[in-house]
Structure 1
Amino acid sequence: MIKLNINDEISPLRAVILGRADSNGPVPKLEDAYDPKSAEHIKAGTYPKDEDMVAEMEAVAEVFKKYGVKVYRPHSIKDYNQIFSRDIAFVIEDKFIIANILDDRSMEIEAIEHVINQIDPSKVIEFPENAHIEGGDVMPWGDYIFVGTYYGEDYPSFITARTNMKAVKHLQKLFPHKKVKSFSLRKSNTVADENALHLDCCFQPLGRGKAIIHKEGFLIEEEYQWLIDFFGKENCFHITKNEMYNMNSNIFSISPDVVISEKNFTRLNTWLREQGFTVEEVPYAEISKQEGLLRCTTMPLVRD
């Protein structure tokens, strides 16, 4: 049995699900793109190739091996994108929560049945049909659960809005002892550098009291300010629009002192090292073309 335990984003990692990229299928048609960044690369003929993404994910698997982390992988489904394991489910405390994601992606959860079968069935929770939620929007942080959402009444018109207020309220019901804090994010179906697909695309708490943040990802100034006050301005690394577009906030903590980051994030990685972090650099630029990075491809199951 897997004894789930996740209370934050940074405690020492013991077990994780890492997505896979070996059979993504043909390049999607433009009208089938789920986000503006993928669409951009489909148009430009630079959509990532399976073998390049496989190599990138293996580099991450190697880092996990180095730190003694148990890694689970989904079973392979032919011609199916299974890279972003964070979207399909997430763990808070000892509960495994199956996300309500885009219908086209429903088979992804079946590919991790072999993991779910090792979890106490009473701890596996499904959200109600009309409460949309994806793991990239959900961050447990001690007494808090930070949730990215979109408050606008035009929510249904955004394929990039993945977590709604019904889900935020449902999360509060499931975890009455936690403070569920929601943030309305900037959405765009067409302009990639103006779209915060998930909360982890514009914000990430780190160890050592630090955080990465992109101000323009937040639609409501007070909500952005709340985070700055919570972490302290001097502890926040502000990323530019271009760095947000390249997914600089979407790195991943193995422990309070160790992070996995993309090797091209020069400014960020320099700052992280200055703050005393060990930075494990990996190539992930091909995967980032689908508007996701390190946090999106990993789903932690157990942290100490």
Structure 2
Amino acid sequence: MLKLNVKNETSRLRAVVLGTAESNGPTPTVEEAYDPKSLEHIKAGTYPVEADMIPEMEAVAAVFKKYDVQVFRPEIIKECNQIFTRDIAFVIDDKFVKANMLPDREQEFEAIEHVWTQVPKEQRIKLPEYCHIEGGDVMLYNDHIFIGTYSGEDYADYIIARTNMDAVIAIQELFPHKIVKSFELRKSNTNPRENALHLDCCFQPVGKDKAILHRNGFLVESEYEWLVNFFGKENIFEITKDEMYNMNSNIFSIAEDVVISEQNFTRLNTWLRDNGFTVEEVPYAEIAKQEGLLRCSTLPLIRD
């Protein structure tokens, strides 16, 4: 049995589910695009191909091996995008929560059944159907749970609105001892530079007390300001619109002083090193074209 334990984003990682780019399927049609960034690349003929994405994911697997992290992989489903394991489930403390996501992604969850069944039954949680949530919107910070959401009346019009207020309430009820704080995210079906698909597309804690933030990702200025005050201005790396588009906030922590980051994130990686982090750089620019990066393709199970 797996002894799940995840209380924050940065404690020493011991076990993780890493997605796979194998048998990723053909390039989606314009109608099949889930987000504006994928749509942009489908139209431009630059949508990433399996042969380019597999080595990117294996580079991450190699870093995990270097740090002696136990890695689980999904079972391969033919012709199915299984890169973004963060969308399909997430761990809070010792609970494994199945995400309620877009219905046509249900089989992605079935592919990690071998991990799910290693968790004691009473620690496996399936939320009611009306609670929409994906792991990219759930950010843990010890006694806080930060959740990205969208509560506009036009929620149903946005394929990129993935977490609703019903889910926020459900999480608060499941974890009454935690402080649950929700943040309204800016959504756009058509402009990837104006769309925060998930909370981790515009915010992520790093180290003990630092954070990466993108102001425009937040719909409500006061909620952004709350985060600035919470971490302190001097501890925040503010990313530009282009850096958000390239997913600079979507790196992944192996420990409080070790992060995996994309090799092209020059400004961010310099800041991290200047602040005492070891930065393990990997190529991930092809996968990033699908509006997801390192945090999106990992599902932490155990942190110290």
The TM tier, using the shorter chain, reads over 0.9
Alpha-carbon distance between aligned partners in 1 of 2:71 and 2:23, rounded to the nearest angstrom: 19
Alignment-derived partner of residue 91 in structure 1: 91
Which amino acid is the alignment partner of residue 254 of structure 1?
I
Q: CA deviation at 1:102?
A: 0.2
Alpha-carbon distance between aligned partners in 1 of 2:284 and 2:156, rounded to the nearest angstrom: 31
Which amino acid is the alignment partner of residue 141 of structure 1?
Y
Alignment-derived partner of residue 212 in structure 2: 212
Alpha-carbon distance between aligned partners in 2 of 1:170 and 1:99, rounded to the nearest angstrom: 12
Q: CA deviation at 1:122?
A: 1.0
Alignment-derived partner of residue 7 in structure 2: 7
Deviations 1:257-278 (A, max 9, x none): 0000000000000000000000
Q: Which SS does the other structure have where 1:181 is aligned?
A: strand
Deviations 1:34-80 (A, max 9, x none): 00000000000001010111000000000000000000000000000
Alpha-carbon distance between aligned partners in 2 of 1:132 and 1:92, rounded to the nearest angstrom: 17
Alignment-derived partner of residue 26 in structure 2: 26
Deviations 1:148-204 (A, max 9, x none): 001211111100000000000000000001010000000000000100000000000
Alpha-carbon distance between aligned partners in 1 of 2:93 and 2:209, rounded to the nearest angstrom: 21
Alignment-derived partner of residue 46 in structure 2: 46
Name segments (4+ residues, structure 1) moved above 3 Å: none
Alpha-carbon distance between aligned partners in 1 of 2:92 and 2:261, rounded to the nearest angstrom: 23
Alignment-derived partner of residue 170 in structure 1: 170
Alpha-carbon distance between aligned partners in 1 of 2:209 and 2:112, rounded to the nearest angstrom: 33
Alignment-derived partner of residue 192 in structure 2: 192
Aligned residues: 304
Give the percent of matched residue pairs that are identical in Structure 1 and Structure 2: 70
Q: CA deviation at 1:140?
A: 1.4
Q: TM-score, normalized by length of structure 1?
A: 0.99
Alignment-derived partner of residue 76 in structure 2: 76
Aligned alpha-carbon RMSD (Å): 0.5
Unaligned residue ranges in structure 2 (runs of 5+)? none
Alpha-carbon distance between aligned partners in 2 of 1:172 and 1:209, rounded to the nearest angstrom: 23
Q: Which SS does the other structure have where 2:255 is aligned?
A: coil
Alignment-derived partner of residue 182 in structure 1: 182
Which amino acid is the alignment partner of residue 288 of structure 1?
A
What does residue range 254-293 of structure 1 map to in structure 2 within 5 Å? Answer: 254-293=254-293
Which amino acid is the alignment partner of residue 244 of structure 1?
M
Which amino acid is the alignment partner of residue 223 of structure 2?
E
Q: CA deviation at 1:239?
A: 0.2
Alpha-carbon distance between aligned partners in 1 of 2:125 and 2:283, rounded to the nearest angstrom: 34
Alpha-carbon distance between aligned partners in 2 of 1:60 and 1:36, rounded to the nearest angstrom: 25
Q: CA deviation at 1:208?
A: 3.5
Unaligned residue ranges in structure 1 (runs of 5+)? none
Which amino acid is the alignment partner of residue 151 of structure 1?
S
What does residue range 153-168 of structure 1 map to in structure 2 within 5 Å? Answer: 153-168=153-168
